[in-house]
Structure 1
């Protein structure tokens, strides 16, 4: 076991120190950082997006600033000062409020059309202020004023399957499927090429003289597994920081509040047993990739070693995309229990509530049993595979490899 962990640590440290691994881990955060940076630069500064409010009626101006909900500034109280600030682009414009002839009016002055949201808020304020003025003019009794103050009610009775549920399911599926596909493709290539490159050298004879092929093979798999766990931990910690930033950033705080329920459902779908399916799938594909890497006989063929696994991953990916709209299909149900396919199709069923947790556990047990069985079998024949140097072609090497004991 000690020699196994020596191989594990050596594989882990060598791969994690490489620039390719660092770029693989940091690329999503670099992309998010660039997106936030560009959005921050493109979004106007708050002080420059404010409107000035000008009115000879101090009470009307004060009420507008406090009640309208429009982002305003108190710095410019006269038309002349507000116009100069607009010309300097310190503000987006100014609103002139008037209450003449028993009518409330507002006039916006600025270089560009006012934001539709602010326009709606101004119109609501004007309607409220005009209603109050009309009531005062009419000299209504208290009972009549109370009768006019009655407001209509609006209620929503949401059904079980709402639009937000559908959106959350769709987003969860795409994030999970593309994440699993990219991770599987990346680590399959890394594992297969590393094993194939080692086989093309004489070092394996020296290695097997000091440790068993099974221990060496297990150490390689454990090293790659630690890389995957490291990447997932970085994504989880980084994702938590991104969530905190998004909740408090002026760029995204509004969107976060608007779609909080959808985001919560997406996070629930991702941070569940679906994540375990992704991890188990990567481990299974890694084991099979190591087997494919051991089948090639020349260093020049190292790049081709991962192609069978990549094609298999592509097949399962395409199948998941094809049945996205039919999670209750009999084909999806059957293949959700078959290793290689279950990592895509069982999460699809869970996200759409067409599978129960006991069914998911059964599928997970089958997947883990396949991983353990594959590691045991390939570890058993690994020595013969790595020392095999005859050029029989891929299928010939595969047939011979499976016949080893």
Structure 2
């Protein structure tokens, strides 16, 4: 019995060693190649520049123009002047203040307990205005209150600002939000498209050169496909982590991180998890369909459905940037394979209910498991086949 257990452990170790040998070879050949290193450096520089653009072109060009109206206007102007960075205009009525926002005479206006803006304000500006509102309200209430403790306590009770956004509901809060979501969707698209194509082309290359026949004398088909997917996955994961780290680092260094939509940093980090699941789905399918052909010229035909799926996922993510709370955006961010790009993009620009995030993750993981089963079967049954392109149905009917 002990001998059997030892033999089982030895077989398991041997299988994992073969898998890791293939993965290591992919990392050395592709990951450490000059082209990949140069590509990583260029891509990271581009991400850094993109992350710095809002501070270079979308940052403060002077004092922010704020309109005030109502009984707290005078006290609030004093508070904002003390803070600095604001160009305050006092209006006679709330209607005039709101109209000034509509006409873009001021960027935002506080009147009768409401903060009016066309497309939202940055988190830092919001905090300053809210603090000024609280202090001005207290000052105004105390000025009109008596000296009894009960009256003072009542005067200190201040209602929070009611936010009124004049743009249509369901839209993105501002250009910075759109820009952030766009960067995430572009990175996800690039980091899925490139390794998926490499996996398929690598499979076809090994078939056309007959190297796969030699490799299969000492390795199992699942070790070859799994090692290739893991190796290229590690390379792409390192690239993705570098991009996310540089993007967040540059945003923090330029002071733009606090102005990003709430949860953007956590959404960017969670992008890595969404990418891993999506890559498992598309990567294994790419290896499976790549084994259906024997020449590089034919690889495009079998990859077309995957490329189209990725492209539609990306275009859908771009669409939901304009309406992240619409029904279409919700469905797109839940249904796989589109959710692989759509959900992290939506999470970066809007508050997504936890149940939708959980459901999306579970469905995408189930789809990845199904893709893993299908891709591995296609590879195992057709990797040694040579000749014209094989149909998927034909490959599945072949004996393993």
TM-score bracket for the superposition, by shorter chain length: 0.5 to 0.7
2:181 to 149, 170, 173: 173
The residue matched to 1:340 in structure 2 has which SS?
coil
Report the Cα distance in structure 2 between the residues aligned to 1:345 and 1:162, rounded to whole angstroms: 26
CA separation in 2, counterparts of 1:343 and 1:361? Answer: 13
What is the match of residue 213 of structure 2?
A: 205
Asked whether the 8 Å contact 1:339–1:367 carries over to 2, the reply is: yes
Write the deviation string for residues 64-99 of structure 1: whole angstroms up to 9, x where unpaired. Answer: xxxxx9xxxxxxxxxxxxxxxxxxxxxxxxxxxxxx
| Aligned counterparts of 2:327 and 2:47: Cα–Cα separation in 1 | 39
Give the counterpart of 1:18 among 7, 16, 33. Answer: 33
**Cα 1:275/1:161, change in 2 over 3 Å:** farther
Q: State the alpha-carbon separation in 2 of the partners of residues 160 and 282 from structure 1.
A: 41
1:193 and 1:303 in contact (8 A); partners too: no
Rounded to whole Å, the distance in 1 between the matches of 2:225 and 2:191 is: 21
Q: Which structure 2 residues correspond to residues 274-289 of structure 1 after superposition, within 5 A?
A: 274-289=271-286
Counterpart in 2 of 1:184?
192
Number of corresponding residues: 283
What CA distance in whole angstroms lies between the structure 2 residues aligned with 1:271 and 1:369? Answer: 22
* Cα distance, 1:3 vs structure 2: 0.5
1:262 has 2:260 as partner:
yes
Q: Work out which of the residue numbers 325, 330, 354 in structure 2 matches 1:357.
A: 354
Aligned partner of 1:319 in structure 2 is 316
Distance 1:301 1:172, change over 3 A: same
Q: Do the aligned residues in 2 keep the contact of 1:294 with 1:385 (CA within 8 Å)?
A: yes
1:165 CA drift (Å) = 7.5
**1:29 match:** 44
Q: How far, CA to CA, are the matches of 1:162 and 1:190 in structure 2?
A: 47
1:196 to 191, 204, 208: 204
Q: Alpha carbons of 1:33 and 1:284: their partners in 2 closer, same or farther (altered >3 Å)?
A: closer
| Structure-1 separation of matches of 2:379 and 2:267 | 38
2:232 counterpart (218, 224, 249): 224
What is the TM-score when the length of structure 1 is the normalising length?
A: 0.59
Structure 2 unaligned blocks of 5 or more: 1-15, 53-83, 85-159
- Listed as ranges, the gaps of 5+ residues in structure 1 are 38-68, 70-155, 248-255
Per the normalisation by structure 2, the TM-score is 0.60
Contact 2:289 2:375 in 1 (8 A): no
Q: Quickly say closer, same or farther: Cα 1:292–1:35, change in 2 above 3 A.
A: closer
Partner of residue 235, structure 1? 243
Secondary structure in structure 2 of the residue aligned to 1:311: helix
Matches within 5 A, 1:4-403: 4-31=19-46, 157=161, 159=163, 166-167=173-174, 168-239=176-247, 241-243=249-251, 245-246=253-254, 256=256, 260-262=258-260, 265-272=263-270, 274-302=271-299, 306-351=303-348, 353=350, 355-391=352-388, 393=389, 396-403=390-397
Shift of 1:320: 2.7
Q: Distance in 2 between matches of 1:279 and 1:160?
A: 39
Confirm or deny: 8 A CA contact 1:204 1:387 kept in the other structure.
yes
Distance 2:247 2:342 in 1: 25
Q: Could you say which structure has the larger radius of gyration?
A: 1
Deviations 1:207-262 (A, max 9, x none): 11211111221111111211122112322443455346535xxxxxxxx4xx7322
SS in 1 for 2:386: coil
**What's the RMSD between the two structures over aligned residues?**
3.8
| Superposed displacement of residue 343, structure 1 | 1.3
User: 1:271 aligns to what SS in structure 2?
Assistant: helix
The range that moved more, 319-328 or 381-390, is 319-328
